[in-house]
A = this chain, B = another copy of it.
Amino acid sequence: MSDPRNVRKAVTVTDIALGSGVSRATVSLVLRGSPLVHADTRAKVEAELKRQGYVYNRSAANLRRRTSSSVALVINDLSNPFFAEFAAGVDDAVAAEGYVVLLGNTGESPERERAVLASLMEHQPAGVILSPAEHSDGERLESALGTQAPVLVFNRELPGAHWDFLALDNRHGARLATEHLLELGHRRIAFFGGHADSSSCRERRQGYADALQAADISPQPQWQIETAPTRLDAAASSQALFAGAADAPTAAVCYNDTVALGLMLGLTAQGRRPGHDFALTGFDDIPEAALATPALTTIAVDPRARGRQAAELLLQRIREPERAAQRTIAPVRLLARASSCAPLGSA
Q: Shortest beta-carbon distance, A198 to chain B, in Å? A: 21
Interface majority SS (helix, strand, loop, mixed), chain A: mixed
- Let me know if A68 and B7 touch, CB within 8 A: yes
Tell me, yes or no, whether A17 is within 8 Å of chain B by CB.
no
Most chain B CB within a 10 A radius of its CB, from A68, A97, A231? A68
Q: CB distance A148 to B104 under 8 Å?
A: no
- 18 further A-B pairs in the complex, CB-CB below 8 A; given A57-B122, A288-B288: A2-B68, A3-B318, A3-B319, A7-B66, A8-B148, A53-B146, A55-B148, A59-B123, A73-B103, A78-B91, A79-B84, A79-B88, A79-B304, A81-B84, A88-B105, A91-B103, A92-B105, A101-B103
Which A residues between 47 and 68 are near B, CB-CB below 8 angstroms? 53, 55-60, 62-63, 65-68
The residue from B4, B67, B91 contacting A67, defined by CB atoms under 8 A apart:
B4
Whether A79 and B85, one on each chain, are in contact in the complex, defined by CB atoms closer than 8 angstroms, is: yes
**Docked complex: A80-115 residues within 8 A CB-CB of B:** 81, 84-85, 87-88, 91-92, 95, 97-105, 107, 115
Q: A92-B105, A319-B6 are in contact. Are A100 and B79 (CB under 8 A)?
A: no
Q: Is A124 an interface residue (CB 8 A)?
A: yes
Kindly state whether residue A70 has any CB partner on chain B within 8 Å: yes
Least CB separation from A71: chain B residue: B2
Nearest first, the 5 A-B pairs at minimum CB distance are A84-B84, A2-B126, A58-B122, A103-B103, A101-B103
Closest CB of chain B to A90's CB: distance in Å? 9
Q: Is A119 an interface residue (CB 8 A)?
A: yes
Cα–Cα, bound, A78→B88 (Å)? 6
**A69 lies within 8 A of chain B by Cβ:** yes
The answer to whether the Cβ of A120 comes within 8 Å of any Cβ in the partner chain is yes
Residues 229 to 264 of chain A near chain B (Cβ within 8 Å): 231
Is there a chain B Cβ closer than 8 Å to A121's Cβ? yes
Q: Which residues of the partner chain B approach A70 to less than 8 Å between Cβ atoms?
A: 102, 123
A120 to chain B, nearest CB (A): 6
Please, which residues of chain B bring their CB within 8 A of the CB of A78?
A: 84-85, 87-88, 91
> In whole angstroms, what is the CA distance A121 to B58 when docked?
9
Given contacts A3-B67, A148-B10, contact A56 B122 (CB under 8 A): yes
Who on chain B is nearest to A94 by CB?
B103
- Contact among B53, B59, B293 for A63, CB-based, below 8 A: B59
Sample (18) of A-B pairs whose CB atoms are under 8 Å apart: A2-B68, A2-B69, A2-B127, A3-B318, A3-B319, A4-B65, A6-B321, A7-B66, A55-B122, A57-B122, A59-B123, A73-B103, A78-B88, A79-B88, A84-B84, A88-B107, A98-B119, A100-B104
| A291 in the interface (beta carbon within 8 A) | yes
Most buried by B among A78, A81, A318: A78
The complex places the Cα of A287 from the Cα of B330 at a distance, in Å, of 28
